[in-house]
Amino acid sequence: MTRLHNLDRRGFVKILLAFLGSIMGAVLGLPAIGYLLSPALKVQKSETWIPLGALNNFPIGTPVLFSFTRTRANGWEKTVNSYGVYVVRRNESEVHVYSNKCTHLSCRVSWTGEAYQCPCHDARFDLHGNVLQGPPPAPLSRFETKIENDTLMIYFAEG
Partner 1 sequence: MGESVLGWLDERLGLRTIYRTVFDRKVPKVNWWYTLGSATLFLFFLQVVTGIFLTVYYVPSPDHAYASIQYITNEVAFGWLIRGIHHWGASLMVVFAFAHMLRTFFMAAHKFPREITWITGVFLLLATLGMGFSGYLLPWNQQAYWATTVGTEIAGTAPVVGDFIVRVLRGGPELSALTLARFFAAHIWFLPVVISLLIGVHLYLVIRIGISSVPEEEE
Residues that bind partner 1 (CB under 8 A): 28, 31-32, 34-39, 75-77
Q: Which residue, 25 or 51, has its beta carbon nearer to partner 1? A: 25
Q: Which residue, 4 or 28, has its beta carbon nearer to partner 1? A: 28
d(CA 123, CA 117): 6
Find the shortest distance in angstroms from Cβ 75 to partner 1.
5
Q: Which residue, 18 or 147, has its beta carbon nearer to partner 1? A: 18
Amino acid at 1: M
Residues 6+ apart with CB under 8 A from 94: none
Find the shortest distance in angstroms from Cβ 30 to partner 1.
9
Find the shortest distance in angstroms from Cβ 140 to partner 1.
37
d(CA 67, CA 70): 10
| CB of 47 closer than 8 Å to CB of 157 | yes
